[in-house]
Chain A
Amino acid sequence: MYKLLLCCRYLRTRYIALASIISVTLGVATMIVVNSVMSGFTTEMRNRIHGILSDVIVESRGMDGFYDPDRHMQQIAEVAGDYIEGMTPTVIVPAMLNFEFRGHNIARQVNLIGIDERTQSQVSDFEEYLQHPENRKAMSFQLREGGYDTQDHQAGPEAQPRTQMETAGWEHRRNWAKWQTMQTSSYQTRWPVEKQVAQQQAAGTQASVTQSSGQLPIQPPPLLSSAEKTTASTISGPIDPFAAAAPQGPVFDPAKEQHPGLVLGFALGSIRDDTGTDKFLVLPGDDVKITVPTNGRPPTASSCDFTIVDFYESKMSEYDAHFVFVPIRKLQKLRGMYNESTGIGWVNSIQIKLKPGADGNEVREKLKKIFPHQLYNVVTWQDKQGPLLAAVQMEIVILNILLFMIIAVAGFGILATFLMIVVEKTRDIGILKSLGASRRGIMGIFLGYGLMLGAVGSGVGMALGLVFVDNLNRIADFVSWVTGQPVFDPSIYYFEKIPAIVDPLMIVWVVFGALAIAVLASVLPALRAAMLHPVEALRYE
C-alpha cells in the first residue's frame, strides 16, 4: 500500500522526473505516427500494385511471345484450375506515344499493353481506375459521348475539380475536328510549297515522310483511317489527307469516326500543378500516335493512330506515367503477331487471377513445371514488385530501430533522474526501513515509480500520436503553410492525402516497449535504494 501511495506522491511532486519522460512521450508519439503513416503507405501501395498487377503472370522471355494463348490458358487450367478465378492474355511491349499539343509534338516512352477488354477486369482492378462511370462498369474501347468524371472519383471532395474533363468525349472530338479543318485549310493556303514537298516525299520512302513531316512547324493532322495500316508490314506516317487519302479509300471524318480506342495513363496526358489542379494536354476524343517495334527481324517501327477513350489513373505515378492500353487484337496486328489465316495470335503474357486464399507461390511452382524455364517466366505480383516492397519494409524496420533508440536514450535520462531522486530520498528510504519496510518493498517503490512514469509518458505519447495521426493532413497543411514548403506533394504519389493506418498491435508493442525501457531504467536506481544501509540512510542529511 505504501508503495502505491508513495509512487503516486512522487509522481505528483517530482516534476523533474516528468520532464525526463517527455522524451519517452515524444518517442512513443513519433513511433506511432511514423508506423501509421508507413503502414498506410505500404498498404495503399500494395493494394494498388496488387490491383494493377494480376496475382500470377506467365510471361515469355522473348519479344515474339508465344503462339495460341487459348491453348496456354487451357494448359494452365489443367494444372492449377482449382486455384484460378480468371485469366486473360496480354501483349506488353515498349512503345512510343506521340501527340500534338498546341503545335508541339510531344513524345513519351510508354509501356503499351494490349488487353482483352472483356476479360481484363477479371484479373485486375483495371476498370476501377478509369474516368468514365460506364467504363468502370463495363469497359469499352469506343469513345463515349460525354459524362467523364470532373471530380476524382477515388479522392474525396477536397480534390481539385477537373473542369477540362467536362467536354471530354465526342463533344471535344467534334470541336477538335472543326478546328483542325480550319487549321488545315488555312495551312494549305499559307503553305502551298510545303504541301507539295510533303506530297513528293509521301510518294517516296514512307519512313522519311514520318521524319520530315514531324519537323513541320504545324503538322497536318492525321485524319486517315487506313485499314491497311493495321498490318505490320505496312508502315505509314502522317500523310496529308488531301494528297494521299483520296485514292486509298473513304475519307475519314474525325467528327463522326474514331480510330481504335486507347486508354491513356493519367500522368501521360496531364500535368498536375502545385495547387493539385490537373492541366490536361489531351482529353478523351483526341487522337494520338503509337509507334511499336514489330515482330520482324530486325524489328522495325510500326505506327498507328488511336483515339483516347479514357484515362487510367491508378494513383501509382510509375504506372500512370507509363501505361497505355489498347485492344489486344489491334496491337497483335500492328506488330505482326496475328495469323490472319488461323485467326490465332501471339501474346507475351497471361495474367492469372487467383481465388481468394489461394497461395500464389504454390501456383507459381505448379506452372513452372509445365512451362520451360528458358522460355517462360512465371512470377507472382510480389515477385514483380519484390524490390519495391522489400525496400519499403526495410525502411520501416530501420525507422523503427532508430526511433526505438530515441526511447532507449530517454531511458538513460530516466536512469540519471532516478539515481538523483534516490539520493534525494535517501533519508526517506532509511525512515521506511526503520518502520519495517523490506528491501523488496523499497525496490518496489522505485520500480513502480518507473512503471508509472513510463505509463504516463507512453500514455500521453500514445494519445499525442493518435491525435496527430487523426489530424495528419491538417497538420501537414499547417506545416506547409508555416514553412511555405509542401510537406506532402500529391503529385509524387498521386495520393490526395497522407494515408495512415493505425495498427492496434503496433501500438501495444510501442507502448509495451516504452514501459519496458522505463522499468529497466529504474532497475538500477531501485536496487541502489534497496541496498542502502538503513543507519547510513537515516544519518543522511
Chain B
Amino acid sequence: MNKGLGNMLLETVGLKKSFHKGKVTIPVLAGVDLSVRPGELLAIIGQSGSGKSTLLHLLGTLDAPTAGEVHFEGRRIDNLSSSRRDKLRNRHFGMIFQSYHLLPELNTFENVLAPLMIRYSTWGYMTRRHKYRDAATELLEIVGLGHRLKHRPSELSGGEMQRAAIARALVAGPDLLLADEPTGNLDHQTGQEILELLCRLNSEQNLTIVMVTHDTGIGAIADRVVRLVDGRLAEARAPETRTTKKRIPA
C-alpha cells in the first residue's frame, strides 16, 4: 500500500462556504485546506452544525463553494459544468448518507444498480446488464445482503439499508467513498458492524474513504482524523497511528 505517498487524490484550497438567510450571511466554512491521500480512511470529526456535511457536499460537488477550490486527482472540479460534475459523481465518487437515501420504489438489487443505470443509456445498460447483475450480486454478498436482493428498502432494517447504500456507492467502482455520518441513525452494535465493513473495504480493496461524523469514538478507527472547529480544520492525529484501527475487531 502506498498510503501517504504519491499525489493527493482530493485536495481543497481555502474552501469557504456561507449561507444566506434573508439578509444575514452565515459563514459555515471559513477556509478549509484538506488533502486526502489515495487509499486512506480519513475521518472528519465535528460538532453538530459545524459544517461537516457541507464540507462533504462540497467535496462531492453537490454544492458549489463560496470561495476556494476543490481538486480531484490534480484537476479543479468545483467549477466544472453541471453535466461534467454529474459524470464525475457517477464515475469517481460514491456517497453514503446518515439516512441511507435508498429509492423507496426500487428493491435492494435495483437500488444497487441505479448508478450504472444512470451512467448508461437504456440500450447501453441492457447490453451490459448480465455483467452488472453479477457485479451487483457479488457486492451485495460482500456487504452481507446476498439474501435480501428483492426486498424493498421499507422491508430492510437500518443496518441492512446502510449496507445496501454502501453496495450502491461501490458498484460503479469509485475512486473515493464519501460517507456522511454513516452510523448516525444506527444503534451502537449495528454502527460498529458498518464501520467494520468500511474498514475492511478500505484495507482489502484499498478504497479511499472520507467519513464525517460527530462521534469521536468512531473517529478512532480512521487512518487520520481531522477536526472541524469553527469552519476550520485542525489536525487531531497523525496518519501513522494505523495500529489503533487494528484494535477494533474486524
Contact = CB atoms under 8 A, between A and B. Distances in A.
Contacts of A5: 106, 110, 117
Q: Which one of A9, A431, A438 has the greatest number of beta carbons of chain B within 10 Å?
A: A431
B86 A1 contact: no
Interface in A1-49: 1-2, 4-6, 9-10, 13
Interface string A407-447: 00000000000000000000110111111111101000000
Q: Which one of A6, A430, A533, A538 has the greatest number of beta carbons of chain B within 10 Å?
A: A538
Nearest to B93: A436
A438 B103 contact: no
B107 to A, nearest CB: 10
Contact of B63 (A2, A10, A427, A535): A535
B138 to A, nearest CB: 19
A533 B54 CA distance: 13
Q: Which one of A1, A4, A433, A535 has the greatest number of beta carbons of chain B within 10 Å?
A: A1
Interface in B84-115: 86-91, 95, 97, 101-106, 110, 114-115
In terms of DSSP, what is the predominant structure of the interface of chain A? helix
Interface in B8-67: 54, 57, 60, 62-63
Contacts of B82: 438-439
B105 A10 contact: yes
A435 B104 contact: no
Contacts of B101: 427, 430-431, 434, 538
Contact of A435 (B83, B89, B121): B89
A438 B85 CA distance: 9
Contacts of B54: 535
Nearest to B178: A434
A6 B105 contact: yes
A4 B122 contact: yes
A428 B103 contact: yes
Contacts of A4: 122
Contacts of B119: 436
A534 interface: yes
B63 A436 contact: no
B126 A435 contact: no
B15 to A, nearest CB: 15
Given A10-B105, A13-B105, A433 B126 contact: no
Interface residues of B, number: 33
A428 B89 CA distance: 16
B118 interface: yes
Nearest to A4: B122
In terms of DSSP, what is the predominant structure of the interface of chain B? helix
Given A435-B90, A438-B82, A439-B82, A534 B63 contact: yes
Q: Which one of B82, B110, B117 has the greatest number of beta carbons of chain A within 10 Å?
A: B117
A10 B106 CA distance: 10
Interface in A107-159: none
A9 B60 CA distance: 28
Nearest to B54: A535
A70 B168 CA distance: 94
A535 B86 CA distance: 14
Given A434-B89, A438-B83, A1 B103 contact: no
A436 B87 contact: yes
A431 B117 CA distance: 14
A438 B117 CA distance: 12
A438 B125 CA distance: 17
Nearest to B57: A535
B26 to A, nearest CB: 15
Given A4-B122, A9-B106, A538-B101, A434 B60 contact: yes
A505 to B, nearest CB: 31
A85 to B, nearest CB: 60
B91 to A, nearest CB: 7
B62 A431 contact: no
B105 A9 contact: yes
Nearest to A12: B105
Nearest to A440: B83
Nearest to A537: B62
A438 B89 CA distance: 10
A432 B118 contact: yes
Given A1-B126, A5-B110, A535-B63, A438 B104 contact: no
Interface in A519-538: 533-535, 538
Given A9-B106, A538-B101, A436 B117 contact: no
A382 B133 CA distance: 69
B115 A1 contact: no
A435 B61 CA distance: 11
Contacts of A438: 82-83, 86
Given A5-B117, A538-B97, A434 B62 contact: yes
Contacts of A534: 57, 62-63
Q: Which one of B104, B105, B110, B119 has the greatest number of beta carbons of chain A within 10 Å?
A: B105
A436 B105 contact: no
Contacts of A432: 103, 114, 118
Contacts of B115: 435-436
Nearest to A428: B103
Contacts of A430: 101
Nearest to A6: B105
Contacts of A538: 62, 97, 101
B129 to A, nearest CB: 9
A427 B118 CA distance: 17
Contacts of B103: 6, 428, 431-432
Contacts of A13: 105
B118 A2 contact: yes
Nearest to B60: A434
Contacts of B91: 436
Interface in A490-541: 533-535, 538
Given A10-B105, A427-B101, A538-B97, A437 B62 contact: no
A73 B184 CA distance: 102
Contacts of A6: 103, 105-106
A13 B103 CA distance: 13
Interface in B150-174: 168
B110 A436 contact: no
A235 B108 CA distance: 102
A430 to B, nearest CB: 8
A436 B120 contact: no
B114 A2 contact: yes
A125 B178 CA distance: 85
Interface string A342-374: 000000000000000000000000000000000
14 contacts: A1-B120, A4-B122, A5-B110, A6-B105, A10-B105, A431-B101, A432-B118, A435-B89, A435-B118, A436-B86, A436-B90, A437-B86, A439-B82, A535-B62
Given A1-B117, A436-B87, A436-B115, 20 more contacts: A1-B125, A2-B117, A6-B105, A9-B105, A427-B101, A431-B101, A431-B103, A432-B103, A434-B62, A434-B101, A435-B89, A435-B90, A435-B95, A435-B114, A436-B118, A439-B83, A533-B63, A534-B62, A534-B63, A538-B97
Interface of B: 54, 57, 60, 62-63, 82-83, 86-91, 95, 97, 101-106, 110, 114-115, 117-122, 125-126, 168
